Amino acid sequence: MPYIHNTITGLMASSPAQSEFYQAVEEVLESLEPLLEKSPHYRKNHIIERMVEPERQIMFRVPWVDDNGEIHINKGYRIEFNSALGPYKGGLRFHPSVNASIIKFLGFEQIFKNALTGLQIGGGKGGSNFDPKGRSDNEIMRFCQSYMSELYRHIGPTTDVPAGDIGVGAREIGYMFGQYKRLTGRYEGVLTGKGTLWGGSLVRKEATGYGCVFFAENMLKSQGDDLKGKTCLVSGAGNVAIYTIEKLYQLGALPVSASDSSGTLYDAKGINLAHLKELKEQKRVSLQNYLEQYPHAEFVPVKDYPEDGHAVWRYKADAGFPCATQNELTEADAKALMTNGCNCISEGANMPSTPEAVEVFLRNKIHYGPGKAANAGGVATSQLEMSQNASMQQLSFEQVETRLKEIMHDIHQRCSETAKEFGQPHNLVLGANIAGFRRVADAMIEQGVV
Ligand code: NDP
Ligand code: 2IT
């Protein structure tokens, strides 16, 4: 359709060099074709032109001093993309690869993901090109305090509520919350993923990984199957990967891999979860150290990856859970997964599969749960944290997990019913994009040209 081409060309001219952002926009717009034909009023209201332009983009300097007294300057971002459905909501990513394109693609995805949860949350994202690797706790604290010294003036429990993402977990949220409270004097639910001692929700830590496995279980159950006894590949070794592995074990599956920025770990007997947590949550060291305790396992360093992809996707398995980062699963990886009999992919990460890989999954009609649907359990549980903070109540672990399970079931239902409505029942990319878009677009139209 010419309007897709025109929109992308327009973005390339007005926001140059943002390839991940164009990729995310293109995927959504392609799915919307049948909806736009059926409902021309979305075009008439210029909803797409409005949606691809963030409501507000905040960029700032983050100066900090390391343990040796050296001064460092990083870039800070917060993109407040769309507030039609509620306060801006989305994580903060601290990783050296962060730039405006990465934050914009994540913010754009977040709009539709948050809409799919059925909850009242708008879309936003932020972060910094700060590299936390090898930094002491004190350096992390000083960085977080400096970052919040600017961010605090833009956020609030009913305006914009950040959370974690890559490189931002409970430790960083704690330091940022402390600084926010010091600057404003207010103890309020301005961040989610907080420690459970001071306002955090039970299950928030586990929510993205658990939710991603629930989503896979929902896809399989729709055809009378489940995860029990299935061999599963998981990439990543952070928050999402660890709790994906935990829930896979709880449902009787066998997760055999993990990966990090140093390489891929494969343990045919099943990844030892307690040891994985010790290495990555406590010691914060490379996965390669797993071999010291479990020498039967295999470790493939990044330099030995196939030229056209990633070692983790080249093992035989029934299901795959990409839980590391964007574009970590290529067309060649997807083809290898298909050849090895994999028929289910549930994305814990944001946009982990390249467009060509997604094409392979759709062509093969496997169970494919795109990130904006499959990993929405994290942000949904963040919203449960906001609601507990606002009402000054605390739900039990079981209560939150039950809600999470229901929400993931409902997201799957919304995506698959929408996919059926448009005559492509297996295509949850189309289902997720249209269902998410429609909710946001309808709210925008009702709220006028703002
Ligand atoms: P973490 O920082 O906890 O873990 C990220 C993991 O991925 C680490 O093992 C890291 O390796 C690896 N990784 C990150 N970037 C790269 C890269 N460029 N190359 C190779 N490996 C990499 O982050 P999360 O688990 O929170 O996030 C993982 C994914 O899930 C991201 O796409 C995020 O956007 C998405 N997501 C997260 C949610 C959340 O609630 N946290 C919610 C929804 C989606 P190493 O250990 O070496 O650093
Ligand atoms: O990508 C995501 O959905 C997240 N990083 C979680 C966002 C949140 O606000 O919990």
pLDDT digits (tens, 9 = 90+) for 199-242: 999 999 999 999 999 999 999 999 999 999 999 999 999 999 99
Residue 440 has pLDDT above 90, yes or no: yes
Spatial CA neighbour of 434 closest among 449, 417, 409, 448: 417
Sign, CA torsion 317/117/129/204: negative
Mean pLDDT of the chain: 98
Calpha distance 107→330 (Å, rounded): 23
For residue range 53-96, list pLDDT tens digits in order. 999 999 999 999 999 999 999 999 999 999 999 999 999 999 99
Atom of ligand 1 at shortest distance to CA of 259?
9
> CA-CA distance, 30 to 246, in Å (whole number)?
35
CA of 378 to the centre of ligand 2 (A): 6
Question: Sorting pLDDT into bands at 50, 70 and 90, what band is 3?
Answer: confident
Query: 162 CB under 6 A from ligand 1?
Result: no
d(CA 385, CA 204): 8
| CA-wise closest residue to 60 among 184, 149, 163 | 149
Are residues 436 and 372 in contact, defined by beta-carbon separation less than 8 angstroms?
A: yes
Instruction: Return the number of other C-beta atoms located less than 10 Å from residue 278's C-beta.
Output: 15
Q: Of ligand 2's atoms, which has the minimum distance to the CA of residue 376?
A: 3
Query: Which listed ligand is nearest to 380 at the C-alpha?
Result: 2
The pLDDT tens digits for 144-165 are 999 999 999 999 999 999 999 9
Beta carbon of 32 within 6 Å of any ligand 1 atom: no
* Average pLDDT of the residues in 113-120: 98
Verify whether ligand 1 is closer than 6 Å to residue 436 (CB atom): no
How many angstroms separate the alpha carbon of residue 211 from the centre of ligand 2?
Answer: 12
Rounded Cα–Cα distance for residues 86 and 159 (Å): 8
Atom 9 of ligand 2, nearest CA residue: 90
pLDDT at 4: 85
**Active centre residues (catalytic):** 125
Mutate to test the pocket of ligand 1, among 201, 214, 239 (most ligand atoms within 8 A of CB): 239
Going 125 to 131 to 258 to 207, the CA torsion angle's sign is: negative
**Closest approach atom of ligand 2 to CA 114:** 3
- Kindly report the backbone phi and psi dihedral angles of residue 427, in degrees, each rounded to the nearest multiple of 5, phi listed first: -95, 85
**Nearest ligand 1 atom to alpha carbon 167:** 2
What's the number of CA atoms in the CB half-sphere (13 Å) around residue 368? 26
pLDDT at 259: 98
Q: What is the CATH number of domain 2-186?
A: 3.40.50.10860
- Which CATH code fits 207-364? 3.40.50.720
Q: Model confidence over 313-351: pLDDT tens digits?
A: 999 999 999 999 999 999 999 999 999 999 999 999 999
Closest listed residue to residue 109, CA positions, set 193, 21, 14: 21
The pLDDT of residue 338 is 98
What lies within 8 Å, CB to CB, of 176 at 6+ separation is 92, 144, 145, 147, 148, 151, 162, 191
Nearest-10 crossing angle of helices 100-116, 19-38? 30
Cα 9 to middle of ligand 1, angstroms: 30
pLDDT at 2: 80
C-alpha distances in angstroms, 12 versus 5, 24, 135, 147, 429?
10, 13, 36, 29, 24
User: For ligand 1, is residue 107 a contact (CB within 6 Å)?
Assistant: no
Mutation test of ligand 1: which of 117, 166, 245, 300 has the most ligand atoms closer than 8 Å to its C-beta? 166
Q: What is the pLDDT averaged over residues 272-277?
A: 98
Question: Which ligand lies nearest to the CA atom of residue 371 in the structure?
Answer: 1
pLDDT at position 422 over 90? yes
238 alpha carbon – ligand 1 mean position (Å) = 6
The model scores a pTM over 0.75: yes
| Pairing assessment for the beta strands 263-266 and 344-346 based on DSSP bridges | unpaired
Instruction: Tell me, using a 6 A CB cutoff, whether residue 164 lines ligand 1.
Output: yes
Q: Is the dihedral of CA 353, 354, 356, 359 positive or negative?
A: positive
Q: How many helices and strands in the chain, by DSSP H and E?
A: 17, 13
pLDDT at 10: 96
> CB of 383 closer than 6 A to ligand 1?
no
> CB of 239 closer than 6 A to ligand 1?
yes
Residue 261: helix, strand or coil by DSSP? coil
Coil, helix or strand at residue 121:
coil
Share of the chain above pLDDT 90, in %: 99
Q: CB-based burial of residue 373 (10 Å sphere; 0-12 exposed, 13-18 middle, 19+ buried)?
A: buried
Query: Which amino acid makes up residue 368?
Result: Y
The model's pLDDT over 40-53, given as tens digits with 9 standing for 90+, comes to 999 999 999 999 99
On the question of pLDDT at 1 being above 80, the answer is: no
Q: What is the Å distance from ligand 2's center to 371 Cα?
A: 11
For residue 370, is pLDDT > 90? yes
User: Strand runs (DSSP E) across 24-114, as ranges?
Assistant: 56-65, 71-82, 88-94
CA–centroid distance, 352 to ligand 1, in Å, is 10
| Rounded average pLDDT over 259-278 | 98
Residue 129 and residue 74 in contact, taking contact as beta carbons nearer than 8 Å? yes
Region 135-140 average pLDDT: 98
> What value does the mean pLDDT take over residues 363-392?
98
Mutate to test the pocket of ligand 2, among 116, 165, 372 (most ligand atoms within 8 A of CB): 165
CA–centroid distance for 57 within its chain: 20
Which residues have a Cβ under 8 Å from the Cβ of 160 and sit 6 or more positions away?
78, 80, 87, 88, 89, 124, 154
> Where do the CATH 3.40.50.720 domains begin and end in the chain?
207-364
The CB of 11 under 6 Å from ligand 1? The reply is no
- Residue 161 CA: nearest ligand 2 atom is 9
Q: Which atom of ligand 1 is nearest to the CA of 262?
A: 47
- Residues lining ligand 2, judged by CB closer than 6 Å? 89-91, 110, 113, 163, 165, 192, 350, 378-379, 382
Token representation of residue 435: 């269902």
Q: Where in the chain is the domain with CATH 3.40.50.10860?
A: 2-186
User: Which tokens go with 88?
Assistant: 């801006």
